Amino acid sequence: MLTARVMILASLALAGCATRSAVMQAGDSSSRAMPTAAPKPPRTAWYDTIRPLATLGKGWNRIPGRFGTGCAHDSTFAFKVRPGLPDKVLIFLNGGGACWRAQDCDPRGKPSYTMTIDSANDVSVRTGIFDVANEKNPVRDYTMVFVPYCTGDVHLGTRETEYENGKRTFSVRHGGAANLEAVLDWVYTNVRNPGTVFVAGTSAGAVPSPVVAVKVARHYPRARIVQLGDGAGGYHAESVPSVLAGWGATDYLREDQAFQSVDPTEFTFERLYLAAARNAPRVHFAQVNAANDATQVFFLGLLGMRAAPLPRLLATDLAELRDGVPWFRSYTLPGKVHTILRSNAMYTAKVDNVLFRDWLQALVDDDTVEDVGETLLSARSRPDKR
C-alpha cells in the first residue's frame, strides 16, 4: 500500500513538472512564452453557500474566494460587499498596474502591479465613490461589490507564467479571470432581479469594465446597465494584442460570444467596447480620463509608445468609440491626475461648466449626458484614423 502511494505521488510530481510554463526572457515582450492555463475552478455550490447577501452585516463584508482564485504569488483572494438597496448594484473593478515583462513583474524588483489584496485594495478609506456618508454621492445607497486586483493582467488573465530576470526565475499567476468569474457567480446568485447595475472600473479595472458590463447585461436582461471606465482610455498601442495573448486574456475573451468575432491580432482595449456594444446595445458605455494622465503616460512607455502624446491617443480612441458606439459618452479632465472615482475630487471637478459629480449622477439615473472636455484634446492635436 505504501509503495502504491509513493508511485502515485511521484506520478503527480512528474506531471506538475511537465506542465510548467516556458521561460520569458527579461525585457523581451515580443518573444512570449507558451505558459500553461491556470486551473479552472470546479462548478460547485460555493456561491450558493458562501456568505449569502441576506446574512451580511452593515458596512463592508469580506467574502473569501473559492478554489482556483488567488493573487499573483499566493492563493489568497477575497472580495468585499456592502449591502444597500436590493435593486441597485455597483460592481467596482479596482486598479493596480499590470506587468508583462520580467523586470516589471519581479516581486523583488520594482513591480509595476499590485500583488496582494491589501493596501491599494482597501475600501475602508471612505473617499470618492465609497464615501457613503456624502449625500452628493450618486451611488451611496447602492449595494456595492468591490473586486480587488492583484494579478497584473487587467482582471482577464488565465495563465501562470514563468519569467527570467537575470539569473533569477520566478512565476506570476496571471489568473484574474478566475477571480472575476467567482465574484460574478456570487452576484448572480445573491442579486436576483436588479433594476440598475453600474459597472465601474478604475485604472487597470477600467479595461475589463465593458467586458463585465456585457456579461451582466446578458444575465440581467431586464436591468438597466451602465458602464464607466476611469483612467484607461489612451492605450492606443500596437503591442496590446500580444500583451493580452501573453496573459491568456485572449483565450478568456474568445470564450464569450460577444468577442468571438474579434480577430485575436486586433484585440485592443477600444475594440472591447465596440464588440461589447454590438452584443449588448442597451448598455450605456462611458469613460472619464485626464488629458495628460501621468500613469497612462508611464504605461504607454512600457508598451513602446514613449513619443506619442496622450491627448492625441485619447482623441483617436474616443473618436473611434463614438463612430462605432454613437451613444458612448466621455468626460475629459485637465491635468496629470490618474483616476477620479476613488478621490473626493469627483465632487468638485468641473469642466465646460459641468460638475463631474452631476455628469455621473445623470449617467447612472438615465438622464441625458453629453461629451465634456473635448476641447482639452482637440486643442492639442487632432485624432488620426488607423
pLDDT at 123: 86
With a cut of 70, say whether residue 14 has pLDDT above it.
no
8 Cβ contact partners less than 8 Å away, ≥ 6 residues apart: none
| Mean per-residue pLDDT over the chain, rounded | 88
With a cut of 80, say whether residue 360 has pLDDT above it.
yes
pLDDT at 124: 80
Domains contained in the chain, CATH given: 19-378 (3.40.50.1820)
% of the chain surpassing 90 pLDDT: 78
Task: Give the residue, 64 or 20, on which the prediction is more confident.
Answer: 64
With a cut of 60, say whether residue 301 has pLDDT above it.
yes
With a cut of 80, say whether residue 83 has pLDDT above it.
yes
pLDDT at 9: 38
Contact 328, 285 (CB under 8 A): yes
Residue 160, classified by CB atoms within 10 Å of its CB into exposed (0-12), middle (13-18) or buried (19+), is buried
pLDDT tens digit sequence for 95-152: 999 999 999 999 999 999 999 887 678 888 789 999 999 999 999 999 999 999 999 9
With a cut of 70, say whether residue 273 has pLDDT above it.
yes
Instruction: Enter the C-alpha cell of residue 181.
Output: 468569474
Task: Give the residue, 378 or 85, on which the prediction is more confident.
Answer: 85
Task: Band the pLDDT of 49: cuts 50, 70, 90.
Answer: low
Instruction: Enter the C-alpha cell of residue 89.
Output: 448594484
With a cut of 80, say whether residue 317 has pLDDT above it.
yes
Nearest-10 Cα torsion for 354, 351, 281, 234: -170
Task: Band the pLDDT of 381: cuts 50, 70, 90.
Answer: very low
% of the chain surpassing 70 pLDDT: 85
Average the pLDDT over each of 31-40, 177-186, 249-258, 276-285 and give the range with the smallest value: 31-40
Name the residue type at position 18.
A
**Rounded Cα distance, 30 and 100, in Å:** 10
pLDDT at 122: 85
pLDDT at 50: 81
Task: Band the pLDDT of 36: cuts 50, 70, 90.
Answer: low
With a cut of 50, say whether residue 358 has pLDDT above it.
yes
pLDDT at 44: 52
pLDDT at 37: 55
Could you give the count of Cα atoms lying within 13 Å of 199 in the half-sphere of its Cβ? 27
**φ/ψ of residue 120, rounded to 5:** -60, -20
**Rounded Cα distance, 170 and 168, in Å:** 7
With a cut of 50, say whether residue 21 has pLDDT above it.
no
pLDDT at 106: 95
State how beta strands 329-333 and 286-290 pair.
Answer: parallel
With a cut of 50, say whether residue 225 has pLDDT above it.
yes
With a cut of 60, say whether residue 24 has pLDDT above it.
no
With a cut of 70, say whether residue 32 has pLDDT above it.
no
With a cut of 60, say whether residue 315 has pLDDT above it.
yes
With a cut of 80, say whether residue 25 has pLDDT above it.
no
pTM over cut 0.95:
no
Task: Band the pLDDT of 40: cuts 50, 70, 90.
Answer: low
